[in-house]
């Protein structure tokens, strides 16, 4: 049907009328969206079945367990991956339906907070596109990441409701449900063959799978993302049924809107065990029903745990092998350790998960016993390696000081531990996880993150894609490494001109959106200087906004101060309980009010905060950027992936030597990037000594002094809103080195502005070198490395 225009159009109309009992003429965009999407889903069903059949024949399967999958919209991406986008666009146009308007109807599937969740989504796309047998396992949160509404510069959080009209891409499979036990106790049964354990008096929660197709590029492979939803189980007796229903359904009600610290809620632990117990059991069931033998599970199944959130998969697999399949501890451990691999995404200590035993043990009594035994045996092996070194063993233990340390469990139970950029892995090996690295150096490896160029170039930037295709052919659609063919065009002035036109076009599109949403007129010929990411102190949106305020002060003080007009664009959600981050959002708005409305800076400096930053908004913002702000305090950002998206779209990075910026620099060379600020070793050295003296910078730099004073002297508000920010910089000694890096940042920004305004040819060449060097950051490269080095597929 997708090969014949008439048949397609007829069927589309007919289905629309039959599903909604409405005439084609009267149908709404939403109805058209649902109808088209259903047709696409049905169109891929035979390939989906075929992919599964192929996998049944015995090749090794990978399961990517993640508490977050930040997918965004799927209609347009699926059509692109099927090679149908242009055809359907044309056919729909003939029916007077603009495809892009239908795409706009689709809610973002926002089952993630930020980088870690979006990485999981890019990985799924790469797995399918490389025809690799890799599937996602996650939770079908009824409400994804909150919607951000700005009210007078303050963030309000509204519940997100992506399922409210039904979701077209999922298939509910009630018959494959699994019951997950919580609470209760463990019966110990002494038998001749040995001691047996039984979890009794448990309260069960039913996990119902909802499968989504993951369409690979070329349409040959359709993998599966299985999302579990929590419902009442028929295995639990019906006393206080209302309470039971409420508590059960709460498990898959909300995504945790938190990507930094754990507030210790029992619900989060329930979510984690719910995900892994359902997933591991469905993985085993499938493996065994295809005739697999438990003893060589690790040769046919690889399970990846995305950060520590799904780490209970390790004791859960142990539990099943021991209690349900009667393996001995040694047999079970042999298989388990070889099956699991773990990725760490952060070195920030506040994000390292630890669960108090008093919460863990009653909720998951049998799992706790197993964790204790893993711990005992692990400590014993440490004792053999380091006899008498109690300090070291205590530091490395999995259970200690009344807590379970999830990262230690992950390392002990996996055959591979990886960081997500070169620098990050070095920091893990040499500092954060140094004891473990010394003990088992072979486990540790680096896998620098990537992004799928199919979404972040082909989908998000059709204008640039068309130009590149005209210039270097379409090989890069499949293999992003071919972007390197663009390098020679840095000397082709006709190409540079066209590249500039594309960028301008995308800036015009964004300018229109900004006008529609914010009512602010921005000039597409100004520099679009963009920082979009979660709001965090270490990501230093504060450095950016203080720099804007300083520029404002310079212009006010000296009307002859020359500066290329700039539009500063921000997008950021703050965790609802993260007061400081929310205050920085307010500060951005207050500086915007000041700068945008002062005749002295009007048209020169414009500050825009775009509300509700999310995947679909990123697809409009990133192609329009000239400067990509990647300015975290060195050593704090594990990798970053936004940095790669911007680079691929021809924005120039303004960045510290942190995370994957280090590797971006390697690709672009020092002339095609703006690097500033302290290096990671310098930051870590200061951290060790307890920081630096920020007050000195306040006293010795008049620009800093003037700018900081404005936080508290009534320039921005008269209610003392920003005292807390002022104090963090001076009273609390500026933990993230904002003032220390300020002058270096200011200079790098000045250089960028000068090149842009005075040497446009150089700027355009820089753009080319960024695009041509970005191929290595395709997640296809990353996934190939995981496949060979870790999963052995």
The mark string for 509-548 relative to ligand 26Y (x by CB under 6 A, - otherwise) is ----------------------------------------
CA–CA dist 590, 549 (Å, integer) = 10
221 interacts with ligand 26Y by CB under 6 A: no
Question: Nearest 5 degrees, angle CA 475-CA 476-CA 482?
Answer: 95
CA–CA dist 240, 244 (Å, integer) = 6
640-659 residues in contact with ligand 26Y (CB under 6 A) are 640-641, 659
Q: How far is the CB of 638 from ligand 26Y (least distance, A)?
A: 4
Q: Which of 124, 208, 382, 420 binds ligand 26Y (CB under 6 A)?
A: 420
> Would you call 203 helix, strand, or coil by DSSP?
strand
- Tell me if 356 sits within 8 A of 400, measured CB to CB: no
259 interacts with ligand 26Y by CB under 6 A: yes
- Tell me if 559 sits within 8 A of 602, measured CB to CB: no
Active site residue 453: no
DSSP string for 724-749: HHHHHHTTT--TT-TTTTHHHHHHHH
410 interacts with ligand 26Y by CB under 6 A: no
282 interacts with ligand 26Y by CB under 6 A: no
Q: How far is the CB of 747 from ligand 26Y (least distance, A)?
A: 26
In this structure, the strands spanning 154-158 and 147-151 are antiparallel
- Which of 41, 270, 345, 447 is catalytic? The answer is 345
Active site residue 199: no
Closest CA to 542 of 506, 574, 508, 510: 574
Q: What six digits make up the tokens of 617?
A: 């908004």
306 interacts with ligand 26Y by CB under 6 A: no
Active site residue 196: no
Which residue in this structure is represented by tokens 């680096």?
Answer: 446
Which residue in this structure is represented by tokens 């996998």?
Answer: 55
113 interacts with ligand 26Y by CB under 6 A: yes
Residues in the interface with ligand 26Y (CB under 6 A) total 21
The size of the chain, in residues, is: 793
**Closer of 79 and 420 to ligand 26Y (Cβ):** 420
Active site residue 173: no
**HSE-up of 768 (CA within 13 Å, CB side)?**
25
Q: How far is the CB of 386 from ligand 26Y (least distance, A)?
A: 30
Stretch that binds ligand 26Y, among 343-351, 373-381, 674-682, 781-789 (CB under 6 A): 343-351
348-367 residues in contact with ligand 26Y (CB under 6 A) are 351, 353
346 interacts with ligand 26Y by CB under 6 A: yes
345 interacts with ligand 26Y by CB under 6 A: yes
Q: How far is the CB of 416 from ligand 26Y (least distance, A)?
A: 16
Strand spans (E) along 610-752: 627-630, 652-655, 674-675
How would you class 238 by CB atoms within 10 Å of its CB: exposed for 0-12, middle for 13-18, buried for 19 or more?
exposed
Active site residue 566: no
**Closer of 222 and 312 to ligand 26Y (Cβ):** 312
Q: Which of 72, 76, 115, 623 binds ligand 26Y (CB under 6 A)?
A: 115
Closest CA to 568 of 605, 520, 616: 605
Q: How far is the CB of 316 from ligand 26Y (least distance, A)?
A: 19
Closest CA to 446 of 471, 458, 428: 428
Active site residue 754: no
Question: Nearest 5 degrees, angle CA 455-CA 459-CA 462?
Answer: 140
Please state the φ and ψ torsions of residue 107, each to the nearest 5 degrees. -75, 145
**Closer of 532 and 551 to ligand 26Y (Cβ):** 532
114 interacts with ligand 26Y by CB under 6 A: yes
CA–CA dist 252, 267 (Å, integer) = 10
258 interacts with ligand 26Y by CB under 6 A: yes
Residues forming contacts to ligand 26Y in the complex (CB under 6 A) are 113-116, 119, 258-259, 261-262, 345-346, 351, 353, 420, 449, 637-641, 659
- Active-site residues, by number, are 345, 533-534, 539, 641, 645
């Amino acid at each position: 049907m997708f090969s014949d225009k008439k048949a397609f159009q007829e069927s589309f109309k007919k289905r629309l009328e039959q599903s909604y009992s409405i005439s084609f003429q009267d149908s709404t965009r939403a109805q058209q969206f649902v109808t088209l999407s259903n047709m696409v889903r049905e169109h891929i069903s035979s390939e989906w079945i075929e992919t599964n059949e192929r996998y049944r024949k015995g090749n090794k399967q990978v399961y990517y367990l993640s508490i977050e999958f930040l997918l965004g919209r799927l209609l347009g991406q699926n059509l692109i991956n099927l090679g149908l986008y242009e055809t359907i666009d044309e056919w729909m146009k003939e029916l007077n339906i603009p495809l892009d308007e239908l795409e706009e109807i689709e809610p973002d599937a926002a089952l993630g907070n930020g980088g870690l969740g979006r990485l999981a989504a890019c990985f799924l796309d790469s797995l399918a596109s490389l025809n690799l047998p890799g599937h996602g396992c996650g939770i079908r949160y009824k409400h994804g990441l909150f919607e951000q509404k700005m009210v007078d510069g303050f963030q309000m959080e509204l519940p997100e409701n992506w399922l409210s009209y039904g979701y077209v891409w999922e298939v509910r499979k009630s018959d494959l449900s699994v019951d997950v036990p919580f609470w209760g106790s463990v019966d110990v049964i002494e038998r001749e063959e040995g001691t047996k354990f039984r979890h009794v008096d448990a309260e069960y929660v039913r996990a119902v799978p909802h499968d989504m197709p993951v369409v690979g590029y070329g349409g040959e492979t359709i993998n599966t993302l299985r999302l579990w939803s929590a419902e009442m189980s028929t295995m639990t007796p019906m006393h206080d049924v209302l309470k039971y229903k409420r508590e059960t359904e709460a498990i898959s009600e909300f995504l945790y809107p938190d990507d930094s610290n754990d507030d210790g809620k029992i619900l989060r632990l329930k979510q984690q065990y719910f995900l892994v117990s359902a997933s591991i059991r469905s993985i085993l069931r499938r493996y065994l029903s295809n005739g697999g033998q438990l003893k060589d599970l690790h040769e046919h199944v690889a399970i990846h745990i995305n950060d520590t959130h799904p780490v209970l998969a390790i004791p859960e697999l142990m539990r099943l092998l021991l209690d349900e399949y009667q393996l001995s501890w040694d047999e079970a451990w042999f298989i388990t350790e070889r099956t699991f691999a773990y990725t760490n995404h952060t070195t920030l200590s506040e994000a390292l998960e630890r669960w108090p035993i008093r919460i863990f043990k009653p909720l998951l009594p049998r799992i706790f016993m197993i964790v204790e035994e893993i711990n005992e045996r692990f400590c014993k092996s440490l004792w053999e390696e380091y006899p008498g070194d109690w300090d070291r063993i205590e530091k490395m233990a999995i259970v200690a000081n009344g807590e379970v340390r999830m990262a230690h469990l992950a390392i002990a139970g996996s055959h591979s531990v990886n960081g997500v950029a070169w620098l990050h892995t070095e920091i893990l090996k040499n500092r954060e996880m140094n004891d473990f690295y010394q003990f088992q150096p072979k486990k540790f490896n680096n896998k620098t993150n990537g992004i799928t160029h199919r979404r972040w170039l082909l989908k998000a930037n059709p204008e640039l894609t068309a130009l590149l295709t005209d210039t270097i052919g379409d090989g890069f659609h499949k293999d992003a490494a071919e972007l390197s063919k663009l390098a020679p065009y840095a000397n082709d002035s006709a190409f540079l001109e066209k590249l500039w036109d594309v960028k301008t076009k995308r800036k015009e599109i964004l300018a229109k959106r900004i006008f529609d949403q914010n009512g602010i007129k921005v000039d597409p010929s100004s520099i679009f200087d963009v920082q979009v990411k979660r709001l965090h102190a270490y990501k230093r949106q504060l450095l950016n906004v203080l720099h804007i305020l300083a520029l404002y002060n310079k212009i006010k003080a000296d009307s002859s101060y020359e500066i290329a007009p700039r539009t500063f664009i921000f997008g950021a959600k703050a965790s609802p309980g993260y007061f400081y981050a929310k205050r920085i959002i307010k500060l951005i708005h207050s500086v915007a009010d000041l700068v945008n409305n002062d005749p002295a800076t009007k048209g020169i400096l414009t500050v825009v905060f775009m509300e509700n930053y999310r995947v679909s908004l990123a697809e409009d913002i990133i192609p329009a950027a000239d400067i990509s702000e990647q300015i975290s305090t060195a050593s704090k950002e594990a990798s970053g992936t936004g940095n790669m998206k911007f680079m691929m779209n021809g924005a120039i990075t303004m960045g510290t030597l942190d995370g994957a910026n280090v590797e971006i620099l390697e690709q672009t060379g020092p002339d095609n990037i703006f690097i500033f600020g302290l290096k990671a070793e310098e930051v870590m050295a200061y951290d060790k000594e307890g920081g630096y003296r920020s007050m000195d910078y306040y006293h010795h730099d008049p620009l800093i002094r003037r700018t900081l004073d404005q936080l508290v002297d009534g320039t921005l508000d008269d209610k003392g809103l920003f005292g807390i920010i002022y104090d963090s910089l001076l009273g609390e000694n500026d933990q993230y080195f904002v003032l220390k890096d300020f002058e270096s940042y200011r200079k790098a920004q000045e250089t960028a502005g000068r090149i842009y305004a005075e040497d446009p040819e150089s700027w355009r060449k820089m753009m080319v070198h960024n695009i041509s060097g970005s191929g290595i950051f395709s997640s296809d490269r990353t996934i190939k490395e995981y496949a060979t080095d870790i999963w052995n597929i």
